[in-house]
Amino acid sequence: GAVVSQHPSRVICKSGTSVKIECRSLDFQATTMFWYRQFPKQSLMLMATSNEGSKATYEQGVEKDKFLINHASLTLSTLTVTSAHPEDSSFYICSARQVHEQFFGPGTRLTVL
């Protein structure tokens, strides 16, 4: 199957700082990538759909100015959590769709102190 990578896998930061998470499709081109957030023992919640060369589409309740998404190429999408706060601590997972399968990155565990 296709491979999606994420970096970093784990990040700890102070409240008020910004954190950038990269998502790459390694062996296929993805015009669309998805960013999910997952809190402990909960399901994956779609935050936004990242479209190459255009603005991301955000789900209701997700602040676009806080979660900046850039899909600069067919293999790279980035999510920047700006001015992070402890309530932003979560598991952030990206995915890219190929036909009917969504391939997920390994996830980034963000802890905001």
Answer for which of 23, 34, 78, 79 binds another protein (CB under 8 A) is 34
Instruction: For another protein, give the closer residue by CB, 20 or 97.
Output: 97
> Does residue number 5 form part of the binding site for another protein (CB under 8 A)?
no
Query: Which H, E and C letters describe the chain, residue by residue?
Result: CCCEEEECCEEEECCCCCEEEEEEECCCCCCEEEEEEECCCCCCEEEEEEECCCCCEECCCCCCCCEEEEEEECCEEEEEECCCCHHHCEEEEEEEEECCEEEECCCEEEEEC
> Which stretch, 19-27, 36-44, 62-70, 72-80, contacts another protein (CB under 8 A)?
36-44
> Which stretch, 19-27, 66-74, 82-90, 93-101, contacts another protein (CB under 8 A)?
93-101
